[in-house]
Amino acid sequence: MHDAQLSTPSLTSVDAMTSKQIETDHSAAPPSYQQLLETAYGLEAVEHSRAEAQATQGLGDPSAALGVGALAPPFALTDANGAVVELMQLLTHGPVVLIFYRGGWCPFCNVYLRAFQLARPQLRALGAQVVLISPEQAAHSRALIERHALLFPLLSDRGNRIARQYGLVFQMPQELRDEYLADGIDLAEHNGEAGGEVPMPATFVVAADGRIAYAFVSADYTQRAEPSAVLAVLRRLRTPRR
């Protein structure tokens, strides 16, 4: 069993009381990604997928990715509705959180996006904007927005052009692509190209000056930056230096 065989629930079904508390109390800590993951799938299934992910860590090299202090490559990408979103324009309003994810077919990505959705009140209170980037075509992004009621813009990075500039792209082996295809996941159709390239999951915080203030990149697709870590960076950026 590989990760995509986990049945993805509607993530809007995560504890409504927790969501309500977060939305009305900006100081409340949002649930962690790990908590949501275990709630959605159960610890045993998560640990099984994590063991498989460990076996494929040679796919992608995190050391090649951009790190803290590097200038974030600018981009202009279209969202699910065809509107152009430009990084430099977003930065005129404050820091930006960039989340690169593999696609809506990835259950770990879906839970991760939900974790940030639940942290949205705190992110907004700190003046941050969040954009989600994947190689998927807009139709799949729209389906993901509708399925999980996402409120962040989902940008289509056709051909992984921007992900490549951030040092995130790797080639998924044909054998693994065939396994996904056997389970009804046609990556070529999702991404609009047959190359088999996907980005390593990554989270960056780009400060208003355009430099990367935080970077989390892992070849293990089950590991992601916790929203709490991103919020801590945003609070630090908001605090004037003495």
Q: What is the pLDDT of residues 111-155, one digit of tens each?
A: 999 999 999 999 999 999 999 999 998 888 888 898 888 999 999
Q: Specify the pLDDT at position 146.
A: 87
Whole-angstrom distance, CA of residue 153 vs CA of residue 135: 14
Q: Specify the pLDDT at position 28.
A: 65
Q: Specify the pLDDT at position 158.
A: 93
Report yes or no: 87 and 162 within 8 Å, Cβ to Cβ. no
Distances (CA, A) of 142 to 51, 86, 138, 139: 31, 19, 6, 5
Domain boundaries, the chain: 3-238
Q: Specify the pLDDT at position 50.
A: 75
CA angle 63, 55, 214 (to 5 degrees): 30
Residues in the chain where the model's pLDDT stays below 50: 1, 8-25
Query: Using the 8-state DSSP alphabet, how is residue 194 labeled?
Result: S
Q: Specify the pLDDT at position 3.
A: 57
**Which CATH number does 3-238 carry?**
3.40.30.10
Q: Specify the pLDDT at position 27.
A: 55
Q: What is the pTM of this model?
A: 0.87
Report yes or no: 170 and 235 within 8 Å, Cβ to Cβ. no
